[in-house]
Homo-oligomer: A and B are copies of this chain.
Amino acid sequence: MEQPTKEERELGKTFLPKFDENGLLTAVVTDIATKDILMVAFMDREALDATVKTGLAHFHSRSRGKLWQKGESSGNILRVREVLVDCDQDAIILQCEPAGPTCHTGARSCFYRRLEGGVLRNVIS
């Protein structure tokens, strides 16, 4: 299949997700209520399709090499309310309602530390 042009990707109304050489795009999850970023993960075509179909965030695990639904074991699912797409369509934002803490550590967000003077300090629990 012919690749979409730069103009089609940037200006068009057609969703033409651009997967990298590993078949992945970047997904940033935000809390739709607070705008906080909860996590960053990767999606292949399968994960993207599963997310759009079910309304629940699915990703592709790079370490395990397979599809996973966020919260499938913990119950802390992410209900996707809005999807934003960037200019070249290789990154998306999932604006979500989280059912619980997003991070596997139990923190509300995976971004619970700030870099301060070269060291990390916890900023949220």
Instruction: Give chain A's interface residues, CB within 8 Å of chain B.
Output: 10, 12-15, 20, 26, 28, 30, 35-37, 39-40, 52, 62, 82-87, 91-93, 103-105, 107, 110-115, 118-121, 123
Q: How many protomers of this protein does the assembly include?
A: 2
In the bound assembly, the distance between CA atoms of A105 and B105 in angstroms comes to 38
Judging by beta carbons under 8 Å apart, are B87 and A15 in contact? no
In the bound assembly, the distance between CA atoms of A104 and B88 in angstroms comes to 10
In the bound assembly, the distance between CA atoms of A52 and B119 in angstroms comes to 12
Interfacial chain B residues near A20, Cβ < 8 Å: 62
In the bound assembly, the distance between CA atoms of A26 and B107 in angstroms comes to 20
> How far does the Cβ of A4 sit from chain B's closest Cβ, in whole Å?
12
